[in-house]
């Protein structure tokens, strides 16, 4: 899987260097790299992947959403295909509070209804729009990390098998949590020099079965993982993944706003 992902990254950077969608995460590339033809939008955890192609050459494809009053245009990226039209796609991160997405495509300045939309309805203006129903987020999905107004961030992890029976490591192995009763846990990241001892997690006094640590973080992008009994574990509550620029390790990514 590594070669197709790297090739896709090079093609996308070359075609649309100024594209605004957040596709820097390797995890996102892994999820969309297997899509080879246009079809209905695909819901992948916190992402909805839109695709588009047409026989004639298209230079610009974007999508606009009803919940944004169609004011913001989200630019698609293009994948070159030998002997076929370009495949345009967008990985859009959804708000978990939204029950559905209503949208229209913009192709070279022309607004149109997605031909692959799973549902089409007419809005109050009499315009046909595509609609994607979003699955309900499980009630146990924890908001983490939590960014506080005082410049600190709370990181949490749980070993409750009702949430997940396994944790994913940085080398994509699955580690069982059934034997973890009083584990040693620490937060390791770019913000503490990847020190495995600086930020240990303790039982969270506000959430039974959770461990947490609160640390000050500067605005900007940060990379991290949890060290659990010697295993480097990705944050199960934060699905943003990328490769650490220093050594290429798969890590969880957090952006603290300015």
pLDDT tens track of the chain, all 258 residues?
Answer: 434 433 443 343 333 333 334 444 444 554 566 678 899 998 876 778 999 998 888 899 999 999 999 999 999 998 888 888 889 999 888 887 789 999 999 999 999 999 999 999 999 899 999 999 987 655 455 678 999 999 999 999 988 766 666 788 998 888 887 777 778 899 999 999 999 999 999 998 888 778 999 999 999 999 999 999 899 999 988 888 888 777 778 999 999 998
Contacts of residue 110, Cβ cutoff 8 Å, sequence gap at least 6: none
Pinpoint the alpha helices (H) of 118-258.
Answer: none
Same domain for 172 and 99? no
**At 28, is the secondary structure helix, strand, or coil?**
helix
Print the domain residue range for 210: 146-256
The tokens 């994948």 sit on which residue? 79
Same domain for 128 and 151? no
Instruction: Judge whether 177 and 229 are in contact, CB under 8 Å.
Output: no
Same domain for 77 and 200? no
Same domain for 183 and 85? no
Domain end among 100, 133, 166: 133
- What is the domain-level CATH number for residue 108? 2.60.40.10
Give the helix/strand (H/E) hosting 251.
strand 250-256
What is the DSSP secondary structure assignment for residue 258, as one 8-state letter? -
Instruction: Judge whether 61 and 79 are in contact, CB under 8 Å.
Output: no
Same domain for 163 and 222? yes
Same domain for 194 and 119? no
């Amino acid at each position: 899987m590594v070669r197709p992902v790297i090739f896709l990254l090079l093609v996308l950077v070359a075609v649309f260097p100024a594209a605004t969608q957040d596709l820097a995460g390797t995890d996102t590339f892994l999820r969309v790299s297997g899509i080879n033809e246009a079809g209905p939008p695909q819901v992948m955890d916190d992402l909805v992947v839109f695709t588009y192609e047409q026989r004639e050459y298209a230079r610009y494809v974007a999508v606009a959403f009803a919940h944004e009053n169609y004011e913001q245009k989200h630019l698609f990226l293009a994948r070159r295909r030998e002997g076929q039209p370009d495949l345009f796609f967008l990985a859009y991160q959804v708000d978990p509070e939204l029950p559905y997405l209503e949208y229209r495509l913009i192709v070279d300045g022309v607004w149109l209804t997605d031909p692959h939309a799973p549902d089409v309805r007419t809005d109050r203006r009499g315009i046909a729009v595509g609609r994607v129903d979003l699955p309900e987020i499980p009630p146990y999905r924890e908001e983490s990390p939590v960014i506080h107004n005082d410049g600190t961030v709370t990181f949490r992890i749980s070993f409750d098998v009702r949430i997940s029976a396994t944790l994913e490591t940085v080398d994509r192995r699955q580690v069982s949590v059934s034997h973890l009763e009083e584990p040693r846990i620490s937060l390791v990241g770019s913000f503490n020099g990847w020190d495995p001892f600086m930020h240990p997690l303790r039982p969270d006094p506000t959430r039974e079965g959770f461990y947490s640590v609160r640390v000050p973080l500067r605005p900007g992008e940060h990379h991290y993982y949890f060290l659990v009994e010697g295993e480097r574990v990705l944050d199960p509550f934060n699905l943003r993944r990328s490769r650490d620029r220093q050594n290429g390790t798969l890590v969880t990514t957090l952006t603290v706003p300015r």
